[in-house]
Amino acid sequence: MPTLDELLATARVVSLPMKVKFRGVLRREVMLFNGPAGWAEFSPFTEYDDGEAASWLRAALEAGWQGFPEPVRTSVPVNATVPAVAPEDVPAVLARYDGPKTVKIKVAERGQSLEDDVARVAAVSAAAPGSALRVDANGGWDVPTAVEALTLLAEYGLEYAEQPAPDIDGLRQVRLELRRRGIGTLIAADESVRKESDPLLVAREEAADLIVVKAQPLGGVRRALDIVAQAGLPAVVSSALDSSVGISAGVALAAALPELPYACGLATVSLMDGDVTDRPLVPAGGELPVRQVDVDEDLLERYAAPAERQQWWTDRLERTYRTLAEVAAAR
């Protein structure tokens, strides 16, 4: 584990503009480190507390000071992502991607209705004929609404529904009720893996058909690989709205999985209007290459966060580092 001074010596904070509002933000702030194994990203969302952020820092230390496991594939299939936009804006969002064969559609946005969700899915189906469709509710529906929504959306042949209810019990109820109705839409668990103290509980409770794993929130590529192996369920690797540096960790995770039956949610750099490299990790033909990312100094300067935000991230790093050190010492 590098010292805090070693981290601070190379730390850079950038604020990357988004092409479209995603997860409620129009600018994505990330902190980067340059370690002996390469560039690493520490970018927990601003509302996360230090305890939750500690896993993200652990992932950054793995990336920058240990490196990633050997890959078993040279490229990773990825989905396009359509945020909670109006139906008429769907074609413009899809135009940012090069040949996606799978599209993930955000639903259950606060302030929107079920009718909005159905209209958005219909618009994607019309704009991307032949593509596999999946929806992501981020736990925004209660059980009755999730069942109603997925019953209405069954006509679009959804590949799966990601986190249609907020907790494990809700996922199980939705899954069972859909099966009772003869609806075969699979249930994927995301928040019920990465935000639970026991990420394997969702598998033991038979609340999902597959799991979504993310390198940063789960504490790094190796820990995520271990969780997938223990869960015994198919896995989809997704991003946390990272820069290309963070995405490279997700790609490394997907590249190291023994089996990869689904396209991964790692194409979100396409939603950004800026990056820290002149060779961003964006898909070609629905695939991302497995490679290291080289950071461009001019882009670090261009997107440097304001001084007060840099100080905010420095303070956060110091607190999170202490939290992670305490966790390590307690083992």
Model pTM score: 0.94
Strand-by-strand arrangement of the 12-22 sheet: 12-22, 25-35, 38-42
| Catalytic hit among 19, 21, 195, 214 | 214
Range list of β-strands (E), the chain:
12-22, 25-35, 38-42, 75-77, 80-82, 102-106, 132-136, 160-162, 186-189, 210-213, 235-237, 287-289
Give residue 159's pLDDT: 97
Distance CA 44, CA 52 (A): 8
Q: Where are the domains of the chain?
A: 4-67+297-330, 75-289
Which tokens belong to 137? 């509710």
Instruction: Reduce the DSSP state of residue 292 to 3 states and report it.
Output: coil
Rg (CA), the chain: 19
| Catalytic hit among 21, 101, 104, 106 | 106
* Contact between residue 69 and residue 222 where contact means Cβ atoms under 8 Å apart: yes
Q: What is the DSSP letter of 271?
A: G
> What is the percentage of the chain residues whose pLDDT exceeds 70?
100
Q: Please name every residue paired with 34 in a beta bridge, in sequence order, or none if there are none.
A: 39
Active site residue 106: yes
Q: Which amino acids are annotated as binding site, given as ranges? A: 136, 162, 190
What would the pLDDT profile of 119-177 be if each residue is shown by its tens digit?
999 999 999 999 999 999 999 999 999 999 999 999 999 999 999 999 999 999 999 99
- pLDDT surpassing 90 at residue 202: yes
Which of the four pLDDT bands, split at 50, 70 and 90, describes residue 2? Answer: very high
Give residue 240's pLDDT: 86
Which tokens belong to 40? 């690493």
- pLDDT surpassing 80 at residue 212: yes
Distance CA 64, CA 7 (A): 10
* Contact between residue 56 and residue 42 where contact means Cβ atoms under 8 Å apart: yes
Q: Quick one: 75-289 is in which CATH superfamily?
A: Enolase-like C-terminal domain (3.20.20.120)
* Contact between residue 237 and residue 254 where contact means Cβ atoms under 8 Å apart: yes
Q: Please name every residue paired with 29 in a beta bridge, in sequence order, or none if there are none.
A: 15
Q: What is the mean pLDDT of residues 286-290?
A: 96
Instruction: Reduce the DSSP state of residue 281 to 3 states and report it.
Output: coil
Give residue 54's pLDDT: 97
Q: Which amino acids are annotated as binding site for Mg(2+), given as ranges? A: 136, 162, 190
Class of domain 4-67+297-330: alpha beta
- Dump the DSSP string for 26-48: EEEEEEEEEETTEEEEE---TT-
Question: Residues 6 or more apart from 231 whose CB is under 8 A from it?
Answer: 193, 199, 200, 202, 203, 211
Active site residue 104: no
